[in-house]
Structure 1
Amino acid sequence: MLIVPEREIADLMTREAAFSAVEQVFASMAAGDAYNFPVVREAIGHEDALYGFKGGFDRAGLTLGLKAGGYWPHNLEKRGMINHQSTVFLFDPDTGKAKAMVGGNLLTALRTAAASSVSIRHLAREDAKVIGMVGAGHQATFQLRAALEQRDFDKVIGWNLHPEMLPNLEKVAAEAGLPFEAVELEGMRAADVIISITSSFDAILMEEHVAPGTHIACMGTDTKGKQEVAPALLAKAAVFTDEVSQSVSIGEAQHAVAQGLIREADIAQLGAVINGAHPGRRSAEEITLFDGTGVGLQDLAVAAAVVDLAVEKGIAIEVDF
């Protein structure tokens, strides 16, 4: 079995490689060549943690495995380590033998950012100029860096429940040579693209906060009960997702579907847009919304790419398992 430690990931996986891996797996899912297993996601009753498993099988890429991990909300304050903790396990689909174990913390941030940036590439207006960020935590910086590569943005605006964290976004904007402005939620109407990346269980972004023609990437809701945007906003938008079954069960759409505002049949796969089976955005005035629930196949795709690179560079650790 091969081991690729967390410390090696930063030198192996680029944003471009993560984007390519995630875009390809979305397309494979929509084509029926890859599928995800049911998600296990539970509060364990210790440290307020959420823990679970995401897995799947990609027939096209012959990638089989799972990611184990979750969210420990007190890690940063108590231990000086990030709150999201995970590990990816890959198996040989021909034999079932354990093939690789890969550090999943940075990979999770990169693949989540790649997913929203794929949605921006395929759904945002070409003339989008202002990007808005709802959330300014650890993963928000990855989201913003990836998103800025998808359009010729000229300004970044941001809101966070704890405003003292907004300099995280301002620093990324400065790296890209762009101005940054802290706004109230009403100020998000100036944004052409909005990314929400929080751990909220209550709607933050409301219908009145979003202007016509906006693309919204909802990236924080991945558990039953979580919520970042008002259900009425999904009813007003063309809704896309990574995995429809997850969208209606643990994603942002769970609330709109429960309230009867949209149906499961109203939700399209982003992969269908990538494949050309769905037209995607239909007009400059249409609001598009990507419900990024985070599928196991994303993790497997980026982890498999990392293993190949680690072997190529001679830094994968081989153990007799």
Structure 2
Amino acid sequence: MLIVPEREIAPLMTRAAAFDAVEKVFAAMAAGDAYNFPVVREALGHEEALYGFKSGFDRAGLTLGLKAGGYWPHNLQARGLINHQSTVFLFDPDTGRPTAMVGGNLLTALRTAAASSVSIRHLAREDAKVLGMIGAGHQAGFQLRAALEQRDFNKVIGWNLHPEMLPRLAEIASEAGLPFEAVGLDRMREADVIISITSSFAAILGADQVSPGTHIACMGTDTRGKQELDPRLLARAAVFTDDVAQSVTIGEAQHAVGQGLIAEADLTELGAVINATHPGRTSGDQITLFDGTGVGLQDLAVAAAVVELAVAKGVAIEVDI
């Protein structure tokens, strides 16, 4: 079995490689060539942590495995560790034997950012100019950098429950030569693309705080009970997702479906747009929404790519188990 430690990931995996891997996974899922297994996601009752497993099998890429990990909200302040902790395990689909163990912390941030970035490429208006950010935690920076590569934005606006964290996003915007402004949620009406990436369990963005034509990538809701958006916003939008079953159970759509505002049949896999079996955005004033729940196949795809690169560069550790 090969081990690729967390410390080796950054030099190996680029945003472009993560984007390519995630886009291919979405396409394979929509074509029926790859599928995710049911997610296990539970509160531990210890350290207020959420822990679980995401797994799946890609027949086209012959990738089988799982990601184990979750969210420890006190890590950063109490231990100097990032709050999201995870590890990816890969298996040989022909024999079931373990083939690799890969540090999953950076990969999780990269694949999550890649997923929203893929949604922006395929669903946002081509003339989008203002990018809105809701959330300024560890993953927000990855989201911002990836999004800025998809459209010719000329401004970034941001909101966070703790506004003292927003300067880190301002620095990233400045690196890209763009102005940044901290705003109230009502100012999100100015945004052409909005990314929400929080750990909220209560709606943040209201249905009347989004303008026609906006694309929203809702990336923080991945557990039963979590919520970032007013459910009425999903009723206003064309809703796309990485995985419909996850979206209605642990994603943002769980609330809108539960309240009868939309039905499961109203959701479309983003991969169908990538494969050109669905038109995606149909007008300039249509609100499009991507419910990014985070699927195990994304983790497996980026981990498999990292293993190949690690072997080529001689940094993978081989162990006999």
- The equivalent residue for 1:291 is 291
* TM-score normalised by L of structure 2: 1.00
C-alpha separation in 1, matches of 2:222 and 2:207: 21
- Structure 2: stretches of 5+ with no match in the other structure: none
Deviation at 1:10, TM superposition (A): 0.2
Partner in structure 2 of residue 111 of structure 1: 111
1:137–1:168 Cα contact (<8 Å) kept: no
2 CA distance for matches of 1:104 and 1:168? 23
**Given the alignment of the two structures, is residue 252 of structure 1 paired with residue 268 of structure 2, yes or no?**
no
Check the 8 A contact 1:128/1:193 in 2, yes or no.
Answer: yes
Q: Which residue of 1 aligns with 2:163?
A: 163
Matches of 2:162 and 2:278 in 1, distance apart? 39
Post-superposition CA distance 1:156-192 (Å, at most 9, x none) = 0000000000001101101101000000000000000
- Residues 1:185 and 2:199 aligned together: no
- For residues 167 and 118 of structure 2, the distance between their equivalents in structure 1, rounded to whole angstroms, comes to 25
**Whole-Å separation in 1 of the counterparts to 2:171 and 2:250:** 32
Equivalent position SS for 1:133: strand
Alpha-carbon distance in 1 for matches of 2:96, 2:152 = 45
Partner of 2:75: 75
Opposite residue 9 of structure 2, the aligned amino acid is I
Could you tell me how far apart the structure 2 residues matched to 1:150 and 1:295 are? 22
Q: Counterpart of 2:239?
A: 239
Q: Residues of 1 paired with 2:196 and 2:293: CA distance?
A: 12
Counterpart Cα distance in 2 of 1:103 and 1:66: 12
1:88 counterpart SS class: strand
Alignment of 1:115-154 (within 5 A): 115-154=115-154
- 1:217 match: secondary structure: strand
Instruction: Answer yes or no: is 1:212 the counterpart of 2:212.
Output: yes
Deviations 1:106-146 (A, max 9, x none): 00000000000000000000000000000011100000000
Asked if structure 2 preserves the Cα contact closer than 8 Å seen for 1:132 and 1:156, the reply is yes
User: Paired residue for 1:263?
Assistant: 263
Q: CA deviation at 1:307?
A: 0.1
Letter of the 1:182 partner, please give it.
A
* Partner secondary structure for residue 320 of structure 2: coil
Residue in structure 2 matched with residue 273 of structure 1 by the alignment: 273
Q: What's the counterpart of residue 2 of structure 2?
A: 2
- Could you tell me how far apart the structure 1 residues matched to 2:315 and 2:248 are? 41
For residues 25-104 of structure 1, the aligned pairs below 5 Å read 25-104=25-104
Whichever residue aligns with residue 129 of structure 1, its letter is K
Which consecutive residues of structure 1, in runs of 5 or more, have no partner in the other structure?
none
Two-structure CA RMSD over aligned residues (Å): 0.3
* Alpha-carbon separation, structure 1, partners of 2:105 and 2:216: 25
Q: Which runs of 4+ in 1 moved over 6 A?
A: none
Quote the Cα distance in structure 1 between the aligned partners of 2:128 and 2:306.
32
Letter matched to residue 5 of structure 1: P
Paired with 1:209 and 1:11, the residues of 2 have a C-alpha distance of 40
